[in-house]
A and B are shown apart, each in its own frame.
Chain A
Amino acid sequence: MVKIHQRKFISADPEKCVGCQICEYACSYSKEKAYNPIKSRIRLVRVNQLANMAVTCRLCEEPACVAACPRNALSQSEDTGNIVLDKDKCNGCGWCIEACDYGAMMLHPETKVVYVCDLCKDKPDGPQCVKWCPEEALTVVTSDTLAQKARISVIKKLFQEKEEKQ
């Protein structure tokens, strides 16, 4: 069983994300052989020109989607932390969609069952959105690497400010 600090998910850096939606195309093509954002596991939100960010599954420690499913169609992989769907059990009721705080669960327009990011577990070169992002805004992270990054960034800023004052 993978430890919580080793669990990987995809994170978008809002400073770097420019809202180009290439991640959506890369995902929908890779997963569905079609260019269609509504079949993408990662979705871009542009709240205004300055606020752009792509959102996908964060592989929560206590996934609300799994807890919400009344038919036990969703489970969390002990190996990877991925959310796994039993297609035969899902009836598309959408409780998981309502439960997810991030909008990462979606109902497929054709199969009528829900789908969610699986980090392209079958792709040798990893998540396709990360591969294609032209701004390197998407990275595969763990909660620990995210915290490290934030820590390093704030300390750098602090010392930079100090140097500027001197």
Chain B
Amino acid sequence: MFGYAGKILYVDLATGKTRTEKLSEETAKKYVGGIGLGMHLWLSNTKTRMDAFSPENPLVLALGPLSGTMFPTGGNGHAFISKSPATGGVAEAVAHGTFGTELKRAGYDAVVMTGKAEKPVYLFIDDDSVKLRDASHIWGRSPGEADDVIRDELGDYYIRVAAIGLAGEKLSKISGILNDKTHVAGRTGLGAVMGSKNLKAIAVRGTCDVAVAKPAEFLDLVQEFHERMKGPAAKKYRTLGSIESLSINNDLTCMPTNNYEMAHFMNADKISGEVLNEHFVIKIIACNSCAMRCEHEAIIREGAYKGTMTRLEYDNVWALGPNCGIDQPNFIIKAAERCYYYGLDATSTGVAISFLMDCHEKGLLSHEQLEGIDPHFGNANALVNLIEKIGKREGIGGILADGVKVAAETIGKNSAELAQHIKGLEVTGYDLRCLKTAALGAAVSFRGADHTRSGVLVLDLKGIVESLKAEVGRGKLVKEFEDVTNLLDSLMICKNAKGTFYGELVDIAKVYSITTGIEVTPEEMAVAGQRIQTLAKLINTRGGLTREDDTLPWKVMNKPVPDDGPAKGSVVTKEELDLLLDDYYQARGWTKQGLPTKTQLKELGLEAYADIVKED
């Protein structure tokens, strides 16, 4: 096979026994790789509904056919798939860096990990040799520290490591899996799944060649994408970085502020991309194979937390900054660094803290619960203190460590109205009240609240559609965007590079065919996109999720945007949501309940899972 390694590795963490299975060309073509292959492997290795923390829940690590090649960004990513402890549905998160390339060279397209180790271990994949090693000495340490210790003790600098932090060990449902120190498969609580298996880290060394089917055409394609990456499609990421969105969203009055109390942050100019780049960003670095470096490394040169270094993006700055009413860069940087240290998803962590601040301001918390912390919006010290407590799962941090949905159940009263989540996953930095196509995208996103599952918000932001209007036709747009995103996440193309795929399905089919030698048409790729979406729907349905879960946070539907501007007064009403959902399900060919039909499952080659959906 070309592109693919042609092999799946199975590891039983309880016994240390391993085996490999061949990846057939048919399976490869059908599920592409990455999240598609990962969800297929998860479903085909489970039979019934289970708890996310039960040993039987497989943790799947999957690569795409481009992993390990020179193709920009596609060469360097990996996906984790499992059942999510946060949503009860599919856990899915991708990350980039270098880790994935090493696994491909070790000779695997995916690793399926089941069982639970008796004591803390890490998995060392050294080409054909796969062993569990004692991890008691790195248990409790940060992912970055674990990375250093493992490479040191194994004596190879080029070993690549993905690890969890203390938060994952303590089963925090907002914890992620970190690789290459600054890259996080952050969303849906995958760190906790790994922690529940007593698996601290996965270390990989691979020495095999990676080959593509049509080398000369492949190089021409790489060259073409390098050129595209030097052009306008990637300029944002190459210069200010994703943080550029902060000023843009704020000017459009669609940046959730103070836990959705507002959609505009008054002090945004204190933490804008321009300010952070001028005073804090010291170097922009790249992942393996990428020609549009975007990783902004920031350092605090003076004042509080002097010397702290971390990676800044829009997502962590928004969540820990405006979302909590905080405008002090030093504290936001420190908070971001602490999230990396404990292995927390910065987005969910920020939203958990803003939720607590909101509860406190509305008097829903007792003095005892707060343990001396005064979590008002804008209290930067409280932000950093609370992350420490979440990371260690101490006191009030223990309430927040499982995300806002669980926290609201503990706090009670009407705190659920302040919990900004969908399906148990916290929202991201785009106000869904004024971006209604994005609102539909977030409502139907299979992993919960997230703008990246479809990326459809670009239509709202750029004014390609009327962002304040909910109308028929949006469903088809969301479906088409989702299908492309599903494929990019299966080819492991970085979402920051999405803009360089001008030709969308045509480009995707071309890259796939040249790399693997398996000829596919854009139409076949679109079907694969639908198939991957359907796999996720099947996993969610087995987990008990229904149409009722394709919904929006309470504030999005009930609290109008208060800020002056074109969006003032906007909410997404129940009627609007229902209209959008009906339209989307129809575009997908699903039932009114949002379920695929048995006929459709057969057409997609997924008839083996027909028992999961009950026909209306």
A residues with a Cβ closer than 8 A to B are: 18-22, 25-26, 29, 32-39, 45-46, 49-50, 52, 109, 132, 134-135
Contacts and interface: CB of A to CB of B under 8 A. Distances in A.
Nearest to B102: A37
Contact of A37 (B158, B212, B293): B158
A45 B209 CA distance: 20
Contact of B209 (A19, A35, A52): A35
B98 A34 contact: no
Contact of A34 (B157, B211, B285, B293): B211
B283 A35 contact: no
Contact of B181 (A39, A49, A132): A49
B70 A36 contact: no
B217 to A, nearest CB: 13
Contact of B70 (A18, A35, A39, A46): A35
A49 B70 contact: no
Contacts of B75: 25, 35
Given A35-B68, A38-B207, 15 more contacts: A20-B286, A20-B288, A25-B75, A25-B289, A29-B215, A29-B219, A36-B105, A36-B209, A36-B210, A37-B158, A46-B285, A49-B311, A50-B282, A109-B207, A132-B226
B284 interface: yes
A5 to B, nearest CB: 32
Contacts of B211: 33-35
Nearest to B182: A49
B287 interface: yes
Q: Which 9 A-B pairs have the closest CB atoms?
A: A34-B209, A134-B291, A20-B286, A25-B70, A18-B286, A35-B210, A18-B293, A36-B209, A18-B285
Nearest to B207: A38
5 contacts: A22-B291, A34-B211, A36-B207, A109-B207, A134-B229
A13 to B, nearest CB: 13
Contacts of A25: 69-70, 75, 289
Given A21-B98, A35-B210, A36-B210, A50 B283 contact: yes
B108 to A, nearest CB: 15
B235 interface: no
B208 interface: yes
B297 interface: yes
Contacts of B209: 32, 34-36, 39
Nearest to A36: B209
A92 B309 CA distance: 42
Nearest to B70: A25
Contact of A134 (B157, B212, B230): B230
Contacts of B291: 20, 22, 134
B290 interface: yes
A103 to B, nearest CB: 10
A134 B234 CA distance: 13
A50 B288 CA distance: 15
Nearest to A109: B207
Interface of B: 68-70, 75, 98, 105, 157-158, 181-182, 207-212, 215, 219, 226, 229-230, 282-293, 295, 297, 309, 311
B565 to A, nearest CB: 38
A52 B594 CA distance: 49
A18 B215 CA distance: 26
Contacts of A46: 285
B70 A20 contact: no
Nearest to B205: A38
A52 B283 CA distance: 10
A46 to B, nearest CB: 8
Nearest to A43: B158
A126 B159 CA distance: 31
Contacts of B210: 34-36
B181 A19 contact: no
A18 B98 CA distance: 13
A35 B70 CA distance: 7
Nearest to A50: B283
B220 to A, nearest CB: 13
Nearest to B105: A36
A50 B286 contact: no
Nearest to B227: A134
B287 A20 contact: yes
A45 B289 CA distance: 14
A29 B212 CA distance: 11
A136 to B, nearest CB: 11
A109 to B, nearest CB: 6
A19 B286 contact: yes
B521 to A, nearest CB: 26
A65 to B, nearest CB: 21
Given A35-B209, A36-B208, A109-B207, A49 B285 contact: yes
Nearest to A34: B209
Contacts of B69: 25, 35
A15 to B, nearest CB: 9
Contacts of A19: 285-286
A92 to B, nearest CB: 16
A25 B71 CA distance: 10
Contacts of B229: 134
Nearest to A20: B286
Contacts of B290: 20
Given A33-B215, A49-B182, A49-B283, A21 B288 contact: yes
Given A20-B290, A21-B98, A49-B309, A29 B285 contact: no
Contacts of B285: 18-19, 46, 49, 52
B338 to A, nearest CB: 17
B539 to A, nearest CB: 33
A35 B219 CA distance: 12
B309 A20 contact: no
Contacts of A35: 68-70, 75, 209-212
A104 to B, nearest CB: 16
A26 B282 CA distance: 28
Contact of B284 (A18, A22, A32, A134): A18
- Scoring B70, B98, B208 by chain A CB atoms within 10 A of each residue's CB, the highest score goes to B70
A26 B230 CA distance: 18
B407 to A, nearest CB: 33
Nearest to B157: A45
B207 A50 contact: no
Contact of B289 (A20, A34, A38, A135): A20
Nearest to B69: A35
B157 to A, nearest CB: 8
Contacts of B105: 36
A22 B289 contact: yes
Contacts of B226: 132, 134
Contacts of A36: 105, 207-210
